[in-house]
Amino acid sequence: MEKKPLAETAIDRMEKVFGEHREYRRAHARGVIYEAVFSANGLGTMYTTAPHLQGGEVKALARFSHSSPDPTWTDVMSPVKGLAVQFLLPDGGITNIVGVNSPIFLAKTPEAFTKILGVVTSFKKGKPRLRELAKLLIKYPESRAAIKIVQKMHAPASFATGRYHSIHAFYFIDKDGNRLPIKYEWEPDAGVETLTPKDAGSLPFGYYEWEIEDRLQKEPVSFRLNIVIGGEEDPTDDPTVAWPEERHKLTVGTLKILPKPAPEADERKFDPTVVTEGIECSEDQILHFRKAAYSISEERRNSEK
């Protein structure tokens, strides 16, 4: 029998752990999508030829999401929130930046991620194999940092007050072909604001979607796009390791979310490996694995409509 591609096994396991929710994304199932405008301030031209970072405006789509693959989980059960941005380039092409409000990920390799999901599956079946989980953490000690962050994480007070990280590194390529390792951060103009677990506990289901819509009717919602410039010793292939806080950051533009929901665009896929000229993906195996995983999720959810 032919062996299944690993990405398919990973998605199967995600469905097993969190349930199969037809027509929904297999992760970040519940969310809301808006039209947006990105204005580049021109500083990006020093490091990249990417068209949307040269100065001027481009249209974009921005999807805020709760990370759970189960759309029935309450807002608080997913302290990890997402902001996926698709830039609509003047030549008709697209380029994406997909972020979450954690600076690091759980696993360094697709194999480790899929194995970890295998263990969690046994939890769901009511047979917690704690010993195996402990063994996995010994085998993949790099997962500890992300587990600790998520355990201690406070949810943002609003989709508008999260700081969203690309986690993975990318390379910016300038007009002379020089390559610069960078990571992205969306910094909220409203300031980072989080909720205490007590306040979060009292929120009704769907609060974040309602709150962002209400906020957009009253005031602008925007995020600065920062690039964090990697140092010589900063890993570009390891999403479980954060780069030091003191790394130089440069704001290259601002994303303004428009008070215009775009539900017709919700079926779009935000594949983080879709980049335009002047940008290259790093060697990070998880980043490349996401391409296949997101396609499988897209195929499944579309085939169920």
Considering only the stretches 22-30, 142-150, 193-201, 257-265, report the one whose residues sit in contact with ligand HEM under the rule CB under 6 A.
22-30
Nearest residue (CB) to ligand HEM, 43 versus 133:
133
28 is catalytic: yes
Q: Nearest CA to 273 among 140, 145, 123, 170? A: 170
Provide the minimum distance between the beta carbon of 178 and ligand HEM in the complex, in angstroms, as a whole number.
26
Q: Provide DSSP, 7-53.
A: HHHHHHHHHHHH---TTS-SSS-SEEEEEEEEEE-SGGGGT---GGG
Cα→Cα distances 213→62, 192, 210, 258, Å: 13, 18, 5, 10
C-beta of 42: minimal distance to ligand HEM in Å?
26
Does position 292 interact with ligand HEM (CB under 6 A)? The reply is no
Interface with ligand HEM, residue 270, by CB under 6 A: yes
CB atoms < 10 A from the CB of 107, how many?
21
- Buried-exposed string 73-100: b where 16+ CB fall within 10 A, e elsewhere: bebbebbbbbbbbbbbbeeeebbbbbbb
Q: Per CB under 6 A, does 99 bind ligand HEM?
A: yes
Among 28, 52, 66, 165, the active-site one is 28
Site of tokens 């591609």:
5
When asked if residue 10 is in the footprint of ligand HEM (CB under 6 A), the reply is: yes
Q: Which of 17, 98, 146, 149 binds ligand HEM (CB under 6 A)?
A: 98
Q: Which residues are catalytic?
A: 28
Point out which residues bind ligand HEM (CB under 6 A): 10-11, 25-28, 31, 63, 65, 82, 84, 98-100, 105, 110, 113, 166-167, 239, 269-270, 286, 289-290, 293-294, 297-298, 301
